[in-house]
Amino acid sequence: MPKLEDYRGQIPAWCPGCGNFGILKTFKEALVELEIEPYQIIIVSGIGQAGKLPHYLKCNTFNGLHGRTLPVATGIRLTNHEMLVIAVAGDGDCYGEGGNHLLHAMRRNINVKLFVHDNQIYGLTKGQASPTSMEGMVTKNQPFGVLSEQLNPVALGVALDCSFVARSFSGDGEHLKEMMKQAIKHKGFALLDIFQPCVVFNKVNTHEWYKQRVYHIEPEYNPEDRIEAFKRALEWGDRIPIGVIYRNNRPIMEERIPIIKDSPLLRQPLDASKTETALREFY
């Protein structure tokens, strides 16, 4: 039975008031309540403020490159599908630099959980626009305001038939915890986009801004209806839905590969004799 203290990690290098603190706290609670021990999970993170998270708790950690969390996580899961593998990334990290991997991880339906700290800005590099920054937002690097349409990760997930698509808010701990738990328990690739105020660089999407707009999706809502899900995914503005937007039960990739059906790749011994057998075929 893990305790919260078991998850105490390094002292965060985040700014006071940063939404990441809420995510960190909730994440630890979720893991403890799911009775997962630190050694039973591997977190793959990228580079950015979000990417620092695994250092601030206790877990097996591969803090890799900016934008490349999902391929690493995929390689890990294909090798050891008995481990819980969670990818933690920023919005720039996985929707900008790493956008292509997101598309294909969703297609594979590899059983990896992607938690996105979506502050709609590049935090660690000091406030340039990210793919989720709102149109018109002016930054030092977007003097005419953001000209591209804001990327909608939730709609993207529905379009790619991602097996679990949810959204939450760092300021709503209970909800976030529930989403994290569902994502972890869901069998399949899970995209959890988490609104996370950046108190230093994003003066538009503040804690207040989110607080006033987010609403909990009503319980009657059926996340298995893809068209309804797409409608929900498009809601933005005065009211922004948080909760599970879309879900399906596609088989996961790990189970579709016959050679790892019986035991994880990691556990399979090398049969040296097969080298000889193989070479004999060349005669």
Ligand X SMILES: Cc1ncc(C[n+]2csc(CCOP(=O)(O)OP(=O)(O)O)c2C)c(N)n1
Q: Is 61 in the site for another protein (CB under 8 A)?
A: yes
Q: Which does 90 bind (CB under 5 to 8 A by kind): another protein, Mg ion, its own copies, none?
A: Mg ion
Shortest distance (Å) from residue 193 CB to its own copies: 14
Q: Please state whether beta strands 113-118 and 84-90 pair in parallel, antiparallel, or not at all (unpaired).
A: parallel
Exactly one of 49, 74, 111, 205 binds ligand X (CB under 6 A); that residue is: 49
What's the token pair of residue 234?
């498009």
To ligand SF4, the closest distance from the beta carbon of 152 in angstroms equals 21
CB of 174 to ligand SF4, least distance (A): 22
Residues 129-168 that bind another protein (CB under 8 A): 129, 131, 140-144
Least spacing, CB of residue 231 vs ligand SF4, in Å: 31
- Residue 91 as a binder of ligand X (CB under 6 A): the answer is yes
Report the residue from 24, 85, 112, 124 that binds ligand X according to the rule CB under 6 A: 124
Indicate which of ligand X, Mg ion, its own copies, none lies near residue 93 (CB less than 5 to 8 Å, by partner kind).
ligand X
CA-to-CA distance for 171 and 150, rounded, in angstroms? 22
C-alpha 171/C-alpha 211 separation (Å) is 7
Residues 100-119 that bind Mg ion (CB under 5 A): 119
* Per-residue buried b or exposed e for 3-20, using 16+ beta carbons within 10 Å of the residue's own CB: eeeebebeebebeeebbb
Q: Are 189 and 103 in contact (CB under 8 A)?
A: no
Sequence-distant (6+) residues with CB within 8 A of 139 are: 121, 127, 128, 129, 133, 146, 201
Q: Does residue 123 bind another protein (CB under 8 A)?
A: yes
131 binds ligand X (CB under 6 A): no
**Under the criterion CB under 6 A, does residue 125 sit at the interface with ligand X?**
yes
User: What residues numbered 179-238 form the site for another protein, per CB under 8 A?
Assistant: 200-201
CB of 48 to ligand X, least distance (A): 3
- Helix, strand, coil percent values for the chain (each to nearest 5): 40, 15, 45
Task: Say which residue the tokens 């990760």 belong to.
Answer: 153
CA 166 from centroid of its chain's CA atoms: 10
Interaction of residue 210 with ligand SF4, rule CB under 6 A: no
Which sign does the torsion angle of CA 130, 193, 15, 66 carry?
A: negative
Return the number of the residue (6 or 161) whose C-beta is nearest its own copies.
161
Secondary structure of residue 213 in the 3-state scheme: helix
**Residue 4 contacts which entry, ligand X, another protein, Mg ion, none (Cβ below 5-8 A, type-dependent):** none
Distance CA 209, CA 214 (A): 9
Q: Taking CB under 6 A as the rule, does residue 172 contact ligand X? A: no
Q: Minimum distance from CB of 133 to Mg ion (Å)?
A: 9
Spatial CA neighbour of 62 closest among 54, 23, 236, 116: 54
DSSP annotation of 142 reads B
Cβ of residue 135: shortest distance to another protein, in angstroms? 14
Amino acid at 142: Q
The contact set with Mg ion (CB under 5 A) reads 90-91, 119, 123
The contact set with ligand SF4 (CB under 6 A) reads 14-15, 18, 20, 49, 119, 123, 198-201
